[in-house]
């Protein structure tokens, strides 16, 4: 028998959602201050309106839904998943007010893309966008990469048992420190230290490339946020092609790969366990797949006869494959060039790396290299088991922060998640075909959305059918939070309607 949620359950969900929306409003102060500094008065008004709306809704929810009760597991998951939808609806407001969006749906598309660190966008006339709006786009990916719940835990929660449930609901389960609020703050500490170092490095490069100090600094901060969050937003429409610099490309890709690594790995390295980089199953799997698929992409490009010299070939192939694998989505070729220049082999290599994705508990999406590593180990273990005597006991070890043994339960859960993802990936391809797109291109784009990668072969445009925009918004949400939270929201709504 399904029990209908009690009134107190609705109150606790409403209260914590309100807290998260207040956090979102406070984030809007960053672009608001930026637009005041640059004297972009119309933009400043847009963010004043949006900030005020967040405060009204957030404080209003907390005032209306009064309760002292803590969250249960399912309520935590519902808050984590549901608050993303509310956050997208509110974060879309400055986009819509800017005048660069064709509709409020387009604004929601870009807001969801930002929060989920995807990087697909339908914003028009990016090269004439204000500094305030551009900062907002990048702040969205930077904070979305950490997680909206993580932000709220860092600044707005005293620390409750329910906080951990929301943290897990956002697709993370690594405990860096004993307390989840401390863990959230540790994640922020790692991100902010890298922000300072990465922005400084890119600022120096930008000056060397010939930019003015003011422009070089703001672009450096945005480049870092786009790369570290594995978001893929770029301040200019030329994306990574704008800089024409090997140094800039190497630094950005290094930041992107670092951003795609597990925060627990970063914390382990920071606390002296440097060998973790070489022992961790995620870094090993990532390295092997990156090398193999870069080679495949290079082979495809050689067949197409695109690049005359091997340095250009290696540079372009490595950048795109690393960008896709880390789930970043920054690019050094035009979107349509995947189809008109790169050809099917390199495109398929890119699709595969997007599917594999980055590490768990990172800013990246996809299946996650942890699951792929476990899946491969499980298959190898089964093959080995079939060759051993029946009475033999086979124990398979793997290292992920600590040594663990592969269990049937873990193998089964990994296989289930991989199957769910693969079915959803295929459905995204078929959706594009229904709308008249070529299957490879539709699959490329659908995988990019579901893996929250953001590489595009030209399917995503402002003129894309509205049905596909809605579907991609849901794919991005699903890809970022993974299935557990979405099922919790679905279950909650079902129990409201059908519970006794």
Partner 1 sequence: MVYKRKRHKSYRRRTFEIGIVLLVIVSVVLALAFVKRPINRTEDWINPNIISSIDLVERPFEYDGRELEFIGEAVGERMVRSSLSGGGAWIHLNDDPYMYTNVGSGGPLSGYNSGSAVWVKDVGLTDAIKNYGGYQVRGDAIKVVGVYNMACAQHGGDTDIHAQSLEVIAAGGMSKVPVDTWKLLVAPLLLVIAGVMYLINRRRIRDEIKGLFKRRSARDA
Which parts of 241-260 interact with partner 1 (CB under 8 A)?
A: 241-246
Answer yes or no whether residue 498 interacts with partner 1 by CB under 8 A.
Answer: yes
Answer yes or no whether residue 496 interacts with partner 1 by CB under 8 A.
Answer: yes
State in angstroms the smallest separation of the CB of 292 from partner 1. Answer: 21
Buried b (16+ CB within 10 A) or exposed e, 222-259: bbbbbbbbbbbbbbeeebbbbbebeebbebbbebbbbb
Q: In this chain, which of 6, 8, 60, 271 binds partner 1, going by CB under 8 A?
A: 60
State in angstroms the smallest separation of the CB of 387 from partner 1. Answer: 44
Binding to partner 1, residues 309-338 (CB under 8 A): 309, 311-313, 315-316, 332-334, 336-337
State in angstroms the smallest separation of the CB of 438 from partner 1. Answer: 14
Answer yes or no whether residue 343 interacts with partner 1 by CB under 8 A.
Answer: no
Question: Which span (210-218, 262-270, 321-329, 483-491) binds partner 1, by CB under 8 A?
Answer: 210-218
Question: What is the C-alpha separation between 106 and 482, in angstroms, rounded?
Answer: 23
State in angstroms the smallest separation of the CB of 262 from partner 1. Answer: 19
For partner 1, the closer CB: 409 or 500: 500
Pick from 8, 49, 10: nearest CA to 28: 49
For partner 1, the closer CB: 159 or 490: 159
In the chain, the N- to C-terminal Cα span, in Å, equals: 7
Binding to partner 1, residues 422-441 (CB under 8 A): none
Question: Which span (55-63, 195-203, 346-354, 357-365) binds partner 1, by CB under 8 A?
Answer: 55-63
The dihedral formed by the CA atoms of 345, 349, 351 and 353, expressed in degrees to the nearest 10: 180
State in angstroms the smallest separation of the CB of 411 from partner 1. Answer: 27
Pick from 255, 265, 262, 242: nearest CA to 201: 255
Structure tokens at 484: 């557990």
Q: What is the biggest distance separating any 2 CA atoms in the chain, rounded to whole angstroms?
A: 76
Tell me the backbone φ, ψ of residue 144, rounded to 5 degrees: -65, -35
Tell me the backbone φ, ψ of residue 236, rounded to 5 degrees: -120, 155
Tell me the backbone φ, ψ of residue 403, rounded to 5 degrees: -75, 135
For partner 1, the closer CB: 103 or 407: 103
Answer yes or no whether residue 179 interacts with partner 1 by CB under 8 A.
Answer: yes
Give me the half-sphere count of Cα atoms (radius 13 Å) on the Cβ side of residue 354.
Answer: 29
Residue found by looking up tokens 């009064």 in the block: 66
Question: Which span (56-64, 251-259, 349-357, 419-427) binds partner 1, by CB under 8 A?
Answer: 56-64
Answer yes or no whether residue 128 interacts with partner 1 by CB under 8 A.
Answer: yes
Give the per-residue contact string, 257-276, with partner 1 (x = CB under 8 A; - = no).
--------------------
Q: In this chain, which of 24, 80, 181, 264 binds partner 1, going by CB under 8 A?
A: 181
State in angstroms the smallest separation of the CB of 4 from partner 1. Answer: 9
Binding to partner 1, residues 18-47 (CB under 8 A): 38, 40-42, 45-46
State in angstroms the smallest separation of the CB of 131 from partner 1. Answer: 7
Q: Would the CA dihedral through 61, 67, 68, 73 be positive or negative?
A: negative
**Count of residues engaged in binding partner 1, rule: CB under 8 A:** 88
Paired residues of 397 in beta bridges: 405
Answer yes or no whether residue 164 interacts with partner 1 by CB under 8 A.
Answer: yes
Q: In this chain, which of 100, 325, 368, 377 binds partner 1, going by CB under 8 A?
A: 100
Q: Would the CA dihedral through 116, 118, 124, 129 be positive or negative?
A: positive
Phi/psi region, residue 301 (left: phi>0; alpha: psi -120 to 50; beta: rest), is alpha
State in angstroms the smallest separation of the CB of 423 from partner 1. Answer: 26
Buried b (16+ CB within 10 A) or exposed e, 14-27: bbbbbbbbbbbbbb
For partner 1, the closer CB: 99 or 380: 99
CB atoms inside a 10 Å sphere around CB 352 = 18
State in angstroms the smallest separation of the CB of 375 from partner 1. Answer: 29
Question: What is the C-alpha separation between 64 and 73, in angstroms, rounded?
Answer: 23
Give me the half-sphere count of Cα atoms (radius 13 Å) on the Cβ side of residue 95.
Answer: 28
For partner 1, the closer CB: 334 or 435: 334
Binding to partner 1, residues 376-395 (CB under 8 A): none
């Amino acid at each position: 028998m399904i029990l209908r949620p009690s009134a107190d359950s609705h109150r606790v969900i409403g209260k914590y959602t309100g807290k998260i929306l207040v956090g979102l409003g406070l984030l809007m102060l960053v672009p608001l201050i930026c637009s005041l500094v640059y004297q972009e008065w119309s933009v400043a008004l847009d963010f004043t309106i949006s900030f005020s709306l967040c405060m009204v809704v957030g404080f209003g929810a907390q005032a209306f839904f009064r309760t002292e009760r803590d969250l249960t597991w399912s309520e935590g998951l519902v808050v984590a998943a549901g608050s993303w939808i509310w956050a997208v609806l509110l974060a879309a407001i400055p986009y819509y007010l800017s005048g660069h969006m064709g509709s409020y749906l387009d604004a929601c598309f870009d807001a969801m893309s930002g929060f989920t660190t995807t990087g697909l966008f339908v914003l028009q006339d990016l090269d004439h966008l204000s500094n305030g709006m551009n900062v907002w786009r990048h702040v969205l990916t930077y904070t979305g990469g950490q997680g909206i719940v993580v932000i709220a835990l860092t600044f707005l929660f005293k620390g409750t048992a329910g906080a951990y449930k929301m943290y897990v609901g956002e697709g993370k389960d690594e405990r860096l420190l004993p307390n989840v609020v401390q863990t959230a703050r540790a994640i922020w500490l790692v991100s902010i230290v890298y922000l300072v170092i990465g922005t400084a490095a890119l600022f120096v490069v930008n000056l060397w490339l010939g930019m003015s100090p003011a422009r070089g600094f703001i672009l450096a901060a945005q480049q870092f946020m786009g790369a570290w969050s594995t978001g893929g937003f770029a301040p200019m429409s030329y994306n990574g092609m704008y800089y024409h610099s090997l140094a800039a490309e190497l630094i950005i890709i290094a930041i992107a790969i670092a951003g795609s690594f597990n925060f627990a790995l970063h914390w382990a390295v920071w606390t002296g366990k440097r060998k973790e980089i070489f022992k961790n199953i995620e870094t090993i799997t990532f390295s092997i797949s990156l090398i193999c698929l870069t080679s495949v992409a290079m082979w495809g490009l050689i067949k197409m006869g695109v690049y005359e010299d091997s340095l250009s070939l290696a540079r372009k192939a490595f950048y795109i494959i690393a960008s896709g694998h880390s789930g970043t989505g920054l690019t050094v070729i035009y979107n349509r060039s995947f189809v008109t220049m790169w050809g099917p082999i390199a495109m398929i290599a890119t699709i595969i790396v997007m599917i594999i994705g980055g590490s768990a508990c990172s800013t990246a999406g996809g299946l996650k290299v942890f699951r792929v590593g476990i899946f491969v180990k499980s298959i190898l273990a089964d093959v080995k088991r079939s060759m051993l005597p029946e009475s033999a006991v086979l124990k398979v070890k793997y290292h992920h922060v600590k040594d663990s043994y592969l269990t049937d339960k873990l193998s089964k859960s990994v296989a289930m998640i991989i199957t769910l993802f693969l079915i959803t990936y295929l459905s995204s391809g078929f959706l594009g075909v229904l709308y008249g797109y070529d299957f490879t291109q539709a699959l490329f784009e659908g995988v990019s959305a579901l893996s929250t990668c953001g590489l595009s072969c030209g399917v995503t445009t402002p003129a894309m059918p509205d049905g596909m925009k809605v579907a991609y918004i849901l794919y991005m949400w699903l890809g970022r939070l993974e299935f557990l939270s979405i099922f919790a929201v679905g279950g909650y709504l079902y129990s409201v309607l059908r519970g006794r």
